Structure 1
Amino acid sequence: MTSRVAMGFVLAIGAALLAPAAQARGIDCSKATTRLDKIICADPQMREYDGRIATAYASALTVWNGAIAAYVRRDQAAWLSAFRAIGVDDNGGCTLDDRDCIRAEMLHRTEDVESGTYVHSGVYLAADGRKLLLTPRRANGYALRVFKLPDRNVTSLDEERAALWDGPNAMVAKMGDANGAPLPKACTLRLVPTPLAIAVTQTGACDGHSYAGSYRRDLKQTLADYQLELF
């Protein structure tokens, strides 16, 4: 099992139509019918994660007066679609007999939606076709990838303290190659996010490419649409 549910099979179109209120409530254990729901309801830690996910999701819907609610719904629906496929689709992920794996998946989701970076996560597009993917991590952590295929691709370094906040309003990430390994020369990106855009400035050669500029948030896409680019 990888660290997250494999997302290639996600059928987000149908899941995106799920009622947000239903998603925000979490599982009603008095009405649990599926084996997965019963497994969660029988496990105190999983029930806690389910409640925390629901609370964080409901809060994210209201951020900036609902400015990113469309993205939050799609992101939650994509995760739910993958998670609910445990025991149904042979996705190379958890099985219903592996409680530790299910618990770990719920913990990962809990850490993502409770992250201080979650409200800025997602897909951002520049006018020239460059794309910026901002992935939330535990606490205020995040991972960053900026690319324009086929060969312009940088990823925050795969090391501690490579992607940090500089005060409450800016992120600073040390960037590496497509695999998060160091580049020949230092490359640092500074991000100043607003609800629907991110302004990027660059320090260093960044392998001869520029990643600076303005990126607008695309509320119709989620990180699940870019799994190959993320990992």
Structure 2
Amino acid sequence: MKPLLLLLFALPVFAVDGLDLSQVQKIVFVGDGSTIKLATDDAQPYRLQQERGWLFRDHCQVTQSLSQNVLTVGVKVNGSYPLSHCQLTFRANLPPLRQIEILQGANSVDAQGQYDRFILSSGASKIKFFGSAKVLALQGVALKADVRLAGRQPRGQVMVDGKLASVYLGIERRAAVDYRLQGKMSSFDCGWQNQSGAPLRVDVNGEYIQATLAYL
């Protein structure tokens, strides 16, 4: 019976109620870290929900505040417990063209949809992004990014800056892009044609960075 009980205790606990996001213009995630799953699906309710592991109650705290349609959600690990004990996942479905800002120590992010501004600044981060944003800025000391921009001609600005980073950037073959690549000890695999003044501007900077720029 003991192995079965341990398995049951390890299953995630889903929050029954979520927070209405229909009027929220921006979500800011702060604190030690979490898993974040984002979407802009108008066929689903616009809500923020939490998925908590069984250790969460003793090891973590979540704070949230709403001011002028900006929702700030914080995660703090109690004492000297490792972040892995939090086992916290945020699931947010927002109306299109809202803003996201992620300022955490460490996280895993999966984002799909259409955003106005999408800003990520973390110590360590793994992000998968599929969709569009007028501004997409990813920064981290340790960063792994898989970004695939939707649409025949994405517009706006993509900025990636990582000290130690592995980056994949994909766009449609017919899309025009104006890009700049800089890195001290870096390698770039670029399959894009560079077109000055294109509607999409991409800047990739890093110290130890491996970046692939490819057509989808």
TM-score by length of 1: 0.25
**More strand per residue:** 2
**More helix per residue:** 1
TM-score by length of 2: 0.26
Higher relative contact order (CA 8 A, sep 6+): 1
